[in-house]
Amino acid sequence: MAAKQNQENLPVVLVYRRPQFNLPHRNRLSRHFILLDPADSQEPTSSFLSTYAQSVRALLCVGYSTITSETLSLLPSLELIVACSAGVDHIDLQECHRRGIAITNASVAFAEDVADLAVGLLIDVLRKISGADRFVRGGLWPVMGDYPLGSKLGGKRVGIVGFGSIGSEVAKRLVAFGCSIAYNSRRRKPSVPFPYHANVRGLAADSDILILCCALTEETHHMINEGVMTSLGKEGVIINVGRGSLIDEKELVQFLVQGKIGGAGLDVFENEPDVPKELFSLDNVVLSPHRAVFTPESLEALIDLTSANLKAFFSNKPLKSLVEIEL
């Protein structure tokens, strides 16, 4: 009886997810919150929300499940969205801003693992690791002789686009390799000891490598365009662990096919899971299926951060990873 009463006193959290998105470590969250999950119900989501969610104050958004203004209209009491993703472009930020709904994200939990993959992609592109692997496995070494030389990472000028928790972890790793760092973000960060560029084209002109770590917004959509790639130059390399639509993908494909830039390491694409087939045959391009954040350690950190944000909200304490909404 006591356990049932304790359960009834727990705060209610709405889980919002596509059926194919699982909520990791659900049992851990269930110890502290009552989880309402429409994906577990036979009712349509809209009916479920109308029936059960009128008084819900907190919503847990799993994966990249789209939250529109229409969805938000079914949640008149909503005050908080806890996103289980680094990016929040799948959420109607304008409506959240209008209604004063706070948003937290998971970039702090994912930062180290995403940074590791960004550096891994970069090393792979520069040293031609994946291409050399195919060369050996294909039996070409005895036939064709030595594989083409790769390029050293140390000493490269790296421009980081987006200097939040992920960008700062990327910089930390690349400084250790002997790279020089510059960055672009929405504004200059006084605590960051690296040169700041107010626009990406200027950053590209002063860099050998661009690493994209920023959020996707209307302002950043296709920010890596023909002009930026031209400024980066024929030896330049682009690494994208942000969102696919940060890059004008059609232009990127043409630049790579025509040899107008040196290479790319891509974990994200514009129309996932569809990837431009022209990239498949290019040995200077390394492809990854949007898995930068997925390690057992990052999922553990995600649950810790998610739980901490929800506990802070229901205790009227400061949120752990509040997203600044700028429109």
Rounded-to-integer distance, Cα 92 and Cα 101, Å: 11
Rounded-to-integer distance, Cα 138 and Cα 140, Å: 5
Task: Tell me the three-class secondary structure of 86-97, residue by residue.
Answer: CCCCCECHHHHH
What token pair was written down for 221?
A: 């959509």
> What distance lies between CA 36 and its chain's CA centroid?
26
> What distance lies between CA 307 and its chain's CA centroid?
20
Rounded-to-integer distance, Cα 265 and Cα 254, Å: 15
Put residue 222 in one of left, alpha, beta given phi > 0 → left and psi -120 to 50 → alpha: left
Q: Name the DSSP letter for residue 278.
A: G
Active site residues: 243, 272, 290
